[in-house]
Amino acid sequence: MSRHATITGIGLVTPLGTTVEGFWKSLCEGRSALSAPDGRGGPLLEVAGLAPPIAPLDLLPPKGAVSVDRFVLLAVAAAESALADAGIVVGRDVDPDRVAVIVSSAGGGMATYEEQALGFDARGRVAVSPYLLPGMMMNQAAARIAIRFGVRGLSTAISSACAGGGQAVGEALRLLRADEADVVVCGGTEAPFASTTVAGFANAGTLAHGWADPAEASRPFDARRNGLVLSEGAGMLVLERAAHADSRWAAGYADVLGWGATTDAHHPTMPRPDGAGAAACMRRALADAGVPAGAVGYLNAHATGTRLGDLAEARAVRDVFPGTGPAVSSTKGVTGHLLGAAGAVEAAATALALGTGTLPPTANLEDPDPGCALDHVRGAARPAAVEYALSNSFAFGGHNVSVVLGRPETRKVRSAD
């Protein structure tokens, strides 16, 4: 049995829109989706990445539609798109007992909890909805996807903060290797614009600030970077073994070849300055995939635009990869940081880079920080026929995840074109 898993479906609801084609075009053009906030998040939120509106009644029955947090709606919408993109109807194309769902979120229903807590403080018990728990609990994105699409295998939530989206992809690969599923819907979702949450980020000094043009605020690896930009959205992938995809003549975007996870064991929020935990994670992923470091042609960096995070990751990349190393870019320059959804969205971008032979640039990388010296893709997309690529996801708490991707083994292949 192959140790690889093939990505046959991609579903996205991000600040760059809801289609794979539109998302990829904007990434390659470096066209920012960041804007002034829409009133959510409170006065401390200067810039945000806002996903398109979601019509709840298009996804859930009336009671469910009014009772769930936006992070659930984003996940269900992205999962619906991913399954449609893969051409899978659960029960027709795959046994429902052989389908799993793994969804990450860093915060779950933060806005719903805040709203209900304020109501409780003002009016007491009568203000709290009986649907509060099934509306905002972390597991509800996976649970609602399973209910909507009739999935009867494992459904679970991952909470490793901003590494969670990447971990969901890795755990999906683990399930497929263990023959515990034929298809896994995996990814992440986030709707972080609760005022209390924004205040926490702002008071920790992690948010980008002082930018007259919101499009300039997210600046991975740039000398003028001063923080991350909070964004909302969801990214879901359909993974299956190549043999299963071939049995229904499905096309693969890319293969997930291996993954690694480590913990810095250093600080609740700050990465190890030397990047040692991240470097160990990348080496573990490459070993799991059986891919030598020198064969990797592209790395999609976690790089959020924070001072310490970008420096630590750059040091780790230089430690792992020989010579000039792979071409490197961060998509967060145009998407902002989708927290628990980021790793899944960026794994999708990495798969598209492999399939199209085009590496998206890092937006706003005008004056690279000398401490972040790498082979940056900047200014414009770079044509490159790449065999292997790596996607990094790092997080508060010292969680590190790296996922290795390669060209698909399926008989049919596809891209964003």
Q: Above 90 in pLDDT, residue 66?
A: no
Q: Are 369 and 221 in contact (CB under 8 A)?
A: yes
pLDDT of residue 67: 83
Q: Are 20 and 352 in contact (CB under 8 A)?
A: yes
pLDDT of residue 82: 98
Q: Above 90 in pLDDT, residue 346?
A: yes
pLDDT of residue 358: 97
> Is 244 among the residues known to form the active site?
no
pLDDT of residue 415: 65
Q: What is the pLDDT of residues 177-224, one digit of tens each?
A: 999 999 999 999 999 999 999 999 999 999 999 999 999 999 999 999
> Is 372 among the residues known to form the active site?
no
Q: Are 231 and 194 in contact (CB under 8 A)?
A: no
> Is 266 among the residues known to form the active site?
no
302, 372, 376, 399: the catalytic one is: 302
162, 186, 281, 372: the catalytic one is: 162
Q: Above 80 in pLDDT, residue 1?
A: no
Q: 250 φ, ψ to 5°? A: -95, 150
Q: What is the pLDDT of residues 347-377, one digit of tens each?
A: 999 999 999 999 999 999 999 999 999 999 9
Q: Are 377 and 352 in contact (CB under 8 A)?
A: no
Q: What is the pLDDT of residues 121-173, one digit of tens each?
A: 999 999 999 999 988 999 999 999 999 999 999 999 999 999 999 999 999 99
- Average pLDDT of the segment spanning 96-102: 98
- Please give the domain boundaries of the chain with CATH numbers for all domains: 5-408 (3.40.47.10)
- Average pLDDT of the segment spanning 68-77: 97
pLDDT band at 332 (very low <50, low <70, confident <90, very high): very high
Whole-structure pTM value = 0.96
pLDDT of residue 322: 85
Transcribe 165-199 into DSSP letters.
HHHHHHHHHHHHHTTS-SEEEEEEEE----HHHHH
Q: Are 354 and 257 in contact (CB under 8 A)?
A: no
Q: For all residues of the chain together, what is the average pLDDT? A: 96
Q: 35 φ, ψ to 5°? A: -150, 175
pLDDT of residue 409: 85
Q: Above 70 in pLDDT, residue 416?
A: no
Q: What is the pLDDT of residues 4-52, one digit of tens each?
A: 999 999 999 999 999 999 999 999 999 999 999 999 999 999 999 999 9
4, 244, 337, 376: the catalytic one is: 337
Q: What is the pLDDT of residues 269-327, one digit of tens each?
A: 889 999 999 999 999 999 999 999 999 999 999 999 999 999 999 999 999 998 899 99
Q: Above 60 in pLDDT, residue 417?
A: no
